[in-house]
């Protein structure tokens, strides 16, 4: 894996480019070609900033012992559309 700085912006870009709606940090790290730990750290900041949300879990297996574990899946949080206050004023105040 290449030695590069992993930022929340880079992780968010990789998430937006990821072909599946729900993803794990391992899958994003693999797609970026970086270690998983910095991607997990960036994901925690994205969660804190309400840009992504937990979507469930996916069964995975460890590489060495082939033991099953559940990895959290995430998805991009849907943002509310901006409010058009001018239209609302026109509808309610001038009606």
Q: Is the pLDDT of residue 82 over 70?
A: yes
Structure confidence at residue 89 (pLDDT): 72
All domains of the chain in start order, with CATH: 8-93 (1.10.10.10)
Q: What is the pLDDT of residues 46-72, one digit of tens each?
A: 999 999 999 999 999 988 999 999 999
DSSP string covering the chain, please?
Answer: -------HHHHHHHHHH-SSSSB-HHHHHHHHTS-HHHHHHHHHHHHHTTSEEEEEEEEEE-TTT--EEEEEEEEEPPPPPPP-HHHHHHHHH--
pLDDT band at 1 (very low <50, low <70, confident <90, very high): very low
């Amino acid at each position: 894996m290449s030695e590069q700085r992993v930022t929340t912006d880079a992780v968010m870009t990789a998430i937006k480019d990821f072909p599946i709606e729900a993803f794990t940090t391992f899958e994003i790290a693999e797609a970026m070609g970086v270690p998983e730990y910095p991607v997990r750290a960036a994901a925690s900041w994205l969660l804190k900033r309400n840009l992504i949300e937990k979507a469930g879990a996916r069964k995975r297996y460890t590489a060495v012992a082939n033991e099953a574990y559940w990895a959290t899946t995430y998805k991009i949080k849907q943002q509310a559309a901006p409010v058009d206050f001018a239209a609302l004023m026109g509808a309610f105040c001038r009606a």
